[in-house]
Structure 1
């Protein structure tokens, strides 16, 4: 977004980002103005240009364009107390009346009705969009819904009620019924079904609560950004808008617990964690911090909340998330097709509208008037365990980088085995790197067989604690588990240092193994190999990825990432290799991702056999120590903090 289209920065109020509420309002107006240029007849459908439709078809995609931008318009107008100089609500009211007049099952926009909305069906995309429409109508009720003719309200309510009658996907989709049901119950339409849907949806998500403020999204171990922009956002907003203190105490307490850890996943440059599906929603990652401030259920100060939210919005706009026409692209910074799931179409990125939730807080609220405070990643080095998710968050203040070591999320279904998903199966993710979708997998430990590398498959978490996280898996090639083979993996972290240990059991002698580090990307990268270590550096940047063999691994190299990553077209990954030499074989390496210079990993490591496993002692550069006992059936870790 051109800087000339934004208000002047205010570095007194916002010393970290320079942005104020006026910047958020200006960005919202620009996003809406650009999208509304593509509105069809009667403003019922907004068909944005794009490289391909979603698997739901062009009509559904155009409904997304209406629903998701309507939510942004609702936040903008409701946050301004009904003031609507762009006459946004008039357009969306006209579209609501036209789109719900005769819902259709047609997928294409070339049919006889160019304005009809897609009918809500079992597991159909219209159910998702019904939630955005319902929430937008609830937020703007005094200025839109209450002024509609009765027949229009009835038709719209009947269309929305389709979300109550049909079956959702068995994951966060149950919360779409909660959101639709909350609005319909409030307005007296389909009341019995609406109240049942709210109760049923809230009950359903309980089975996915992992504790400590974290959910898995339907599958046994699918932890990602849907925690913030779905599992916490919808229940807390429903409780807040209904003024249900019992529900707010329940879900607000969970939200506060979540934010206490989630806030550590934002980088010093404002970047959210690059992990999980639907990353094209970008600054929707700000929704949870705003929800905490809106409801008063947050451990974050107002200045920290705004710093996180403004930081992530500005991060994406400064890195080209908008195309030349001012539209959000299908990617992370610019367009990047590999990042896009088949269910996403040209308007899908506008779920990012949730990131504007803070506009509901009035201009005089402390979240807008307090001086910005540093994000957790800027205050000092930290290593934070997330036990429910099986994660270990590691951040360094010198470069603002955040790394999340993943020993708990794989996105594997309960009843089938899928190939590893690069956005879930890696050993680690960060705010400055993306996974490789082609070539050698980054942040991965593999057994090698005939030129094929094993996949991680389902992860069994073994725990997370101060400075460590661990898991086990059965390596697979071509979907089949290697007979009798298991891998127990452990990471120990302090400062920017990472020590990775992998205990392989049951593999035949002579089997090759490979451990890879971070895939860094940019317009160009430089690589170097020295002895037992490999390094990749982004040209013209201080961002460096390094890996050093410490035990069991005996060779180092680098491998290019053929198509780059979401962070740049040129990328490479450091690679360490070794060979299995016994029934139990331990492989240990030092890995480092740094944006503050090229100092090599400095931790000192000693490995020795123990009566019941393998003992690993680490002496960190700051003088502290960690010790781990690694066995095939688990790990035991002690440190100076214990």
Structure 2
């Protein structure tokens, strides 16, 4: 059942009504759903299995079942620890929460207990070299023990502390993966150090060196892709590490961490909509509002420049985006494996039923003192007031991201670059490959019949079984108001096909001026955002003509899309998809289409206006007449084929020249 705000405070929090007490209440609401599944103090947290995608499976080795128990303990402790800190006598059902976790930690680290979880060294000895989920969960235990230190760790005997420390030390000093996982070892090593245990200082330095080397600029770190692992990973752990250790013992390094965090926060809040909703993109999105963890750790950073009234407004709205919805919960009262409702296409193999509780990182805000500006500043809408009905776009060269806050719709959009499949020519997963991701229009799963939302989908007519979807999206930067990117798709026999992208942000959407580079005869489609059939009600689709060009619109209550085929397309159409959308079983996708029966048809320009709205007002001719002039150029002066001159109704003009893409594209 959804959490409901009681006694909202619209003086301190005029946007959401939420205060620190409401965060405690919401966290307790989540925790109560967990404790329904714990019969006795000796029982571990093993939540009901929800999906066939997740581990453990029936034939998995025993350590996978122990990893499930470990996630149940560690990730829910991430939620419980700040609540214990705020309310030491907190009870859920018949359990005093602090007593339960204190007891479970002793069982989990006691080699004579059947609840013993095992160390990395023991796992390697029994199962061989590899990467074990236990390392990740060990770091969560360390953070939670620090967050509840006065009420759990400090109450252990020295013998009990030594038992837990020896267990954690094995993870801390064992192998790890060279991305955000290094922070797990850092947090474990640092926990041990600040609590009086000896650690390998050289190992700690090695991990910090490799972490800092992943920095790419603009506040972002490279962690496979550029996604929420920067805010809920790097900018979560690093400020906490500075607070524990860095500020005192590594002040120069801590200063750099603070500077990077401040740089990140200059643009990251724009990735949340006017209402404070996050964008659904990237892997592990079942962690949902963990995306706002970095907003809270801003208050741990020295001389942070952020507007804390805006940060709390976003964080509270981001929390309520999920916990305030009934479909966020399973029938058993715990967060489902999906975004809103259950949805397998966004669930990764490394997840189990307790994995969503990584979202508890957002509750780090409860570790801030009550007089922190994060809690005392009056809520506000931040830069959205300045944006008004216009838009603000920033392109970040480091991660290759373009972020747009659109005042007309109140939505936020991110366009990704620097994404490459880790499996050669295999398709990128849809949570990385879409041409644009929007806060109010979630991505759909791939559809092999074409009409893939926010994506080009091509079929070679000689090999109709091969659907050409991206295996890389490269960034070529922004020039004169145009964002250039490069998409490669797998064609027959692994010969790549290409699309050169030129994105122009317009109020309420994007103008796409793209160059297609497919040599064989083919069929190509480009879909708009899919609209879910909420409660089974289909979208209303209408066809019209705008300045001589075909236009298709689709609408559901509160959301609309419009697609105008300005140049290069044969026509527009729509399809109803089944099982592709995270909000409903069926969805409607409007799309442009093109078919060529002969090989070697040149490099066509595909020019498409893609608009969206977040109200129910009918589309006007003025709204749809964004583009004033489209003039293809067969050869530009620099010898580059197929550019274009574009004039918009708002007075802006552009010359599209793809000539710098090949020499500057990066992944």
TM-score by length of 2: 0.86
Q: Which runs of 4+ in 1 moved over 6 A?
A: none
In 1: Cα distance, 2:480 partner to 2:582 partner: 31
Aligned to 1:236: 239
TM-score (norm 1): 0.89
- Residue equivalent to 2:659: 631
The reply on whether 1:473 has 2:487 as its aligned counterpart is yes
Q: 8 Å contact 1:448–1:514 — kept in the other structure?
A: no
1:593 aligned residue (598, 603, 612) = 612
Which residue does the alignment assign to 1:130?
138
Aligned length: 614
Asked whether the 8 Å contact 1:407–1:427 carries over to 2, the reply is: no
Q: Report deviation, 1:479.
A: 7.5
SS at match of 1:330: coil
Residue 520 (structure 1) aligns with: 531
1:433 Cα offset (Å): 2.1
Q: Return the match for 1:607 from 631, 637, 641.
A: 631
Q: Equivalences for 1:210-221 in 2 at 5 Å?
A: 210-217=216-223, 219=224
Measured after TM superposition, the shift of residue 68 of structure 1 is 0.9
Q: How does 1:117-266 map to 2 (within 5 A)?
A: 117-120=117-120, 121=123, 122-189=130-197, 191-193=198-200, 195-217=201-223, 219=224, 222-242=225-245, 243-244=247-248, 245-266=251-272
SS of the residue corresponding to residue 153 of structure 1 reads helix
Distance 1:200 1:206 in 2: 10
- Cα 1:622–1:635 change in 2 (3 A) is farther
2:60 counterpart residue number: none
CA contact (8 A) 2:417 2:473 kept: yes
Are the counterparts in 1 of residues 554 and 590 from structure 2 also a CA contact under 8 Å? no
What residue is the counterpart of 2:16 in the other structure? Answer: 17
C-alpha contact (below 8 Å) 2:441/2:529 kept by paired residues: yes
Q: Which runs of 5+ in 2 are unaligned?
A: 57-62, 124-129
Aligned to 2:501: 489
Q: Match of 1:364?
A: 371
Q: Which moved more, 1:607-616 or 1:91-100?
A: 607-616
Note if contact 1:487-1:632 (Cα within 8 Å) is conserved in structure 2. Answer: no
Once the two structures are superposed, what CA deviation does each residue of 1:528-554 show, in whole Å capped at 9, x if it has no partner? 333554545343x13112221112112
Report what 1:393 is aligned to.
403
Compared CA separation, residues 43 and 486, structure 1 to 2 (3 A): same
**Matching of residue 553 in structure 1 with residue 569 in structure 2:** yes
For the Cα contact (< 8 Å) 2:279–2:442, is it kept in 1? no
Structure 1, gaps ≥5 residues long: 104-112, 637-642
Q: Deviations over 1:333-387 (max 9, x none)?
A: 1222222111111100100110111111222222212211104446422112122
> 2:77 touches 2:144 (CA, 8 Å); kept in 1?
yes
Aligned equivalent of 2:603: 584
Does the 8 Å CA contact 1:491/1:498 hold for their aligned counterparts?
Answer: yes
| Distance of aligned partners of 1:631 and 1:448 in 2 relative to their CA distance in 1, 3 Å threshold | farther
Displacement, 1:481? 2.5
CA contact 1:286–1:309 (8 Å) conserved in 2? yes
| Cα distance in 2 between the residues matched to 1:19 and 1:251 | 30
Cα deviation code 1:267-317 (max 9, x no counterpart): 123211110011111111110011112324543211101101001001112
SS of the residue aligned with 2:289? Answer: helix
Change beyond 3 A, Cα 1:627–1:31: same
Between the aligned partners of 2:433 and 2:661, the Cα distance in structure 1 is: 21
Once the two structures are TM-superposed, the CA of residue 248 in structure 1 deviates from its matched residue by 2.3
1:13 aligned counterpart, secondary structure: coil
CA distance in 2, matches of 1:515, 1:635: 26
Correspondence for 1:303 among 306, 309, 328: 309
Q: Tell me how far apart the structure 2 counterparts of residues 379 and 496 of structure 1 sit (CA, whole Å).
A: 17
Task: Rate the CA distance shift 1:378–1:438 in 2: closer, same or farther, 3 A.
Answer: farther
Question: Conserved in 1, the CA contact under 8 Å of 2:551 and 2:565?
Answer: no
2:127 aligns with none
In 2, Cα distance between the equivalents of 1:606 and 1:585?
A: 14
Query: Which sits farther off after the overlay, 462-471 or 265-274?
Result: 462-471
Q: Which residue of 2 aligns with 1:109?
A: none
1:44 deviates by 6.1
Preserved contact between residue 18 and residue 316 of structure 2 (Cα < 8 Å): yes
* SS of residue in 1 equivalent to 2:37: coil
What is the aligned partner in structure 2 of residue 37 from structure 1?
36
- Bigger drift between 580-589 and 517-526 goes to 580-589
Q: Distance in 2 between matches of 1:391 and 1:216?
A: 12
Distance 1:51 1:629 in 2: 50
What is the alpha-carbon distance in structure 2 between the residues aligned to residue 37 and residue 486 of structure 1? 53
For residues 87-139 of structure 1, what are the alpha-carbon distances to aligned partners after superposition, in whole Å with 9 as ceiling and x for unaligned?
32221111111111028xxxxxxxxx652224334411111110100111122
Counterparts in 2 of 1:88 and 1:529: CA distance versus 1, 3 Å: same
Secondary structure (helix, strand or coil) at the match of 1:458 reads strand
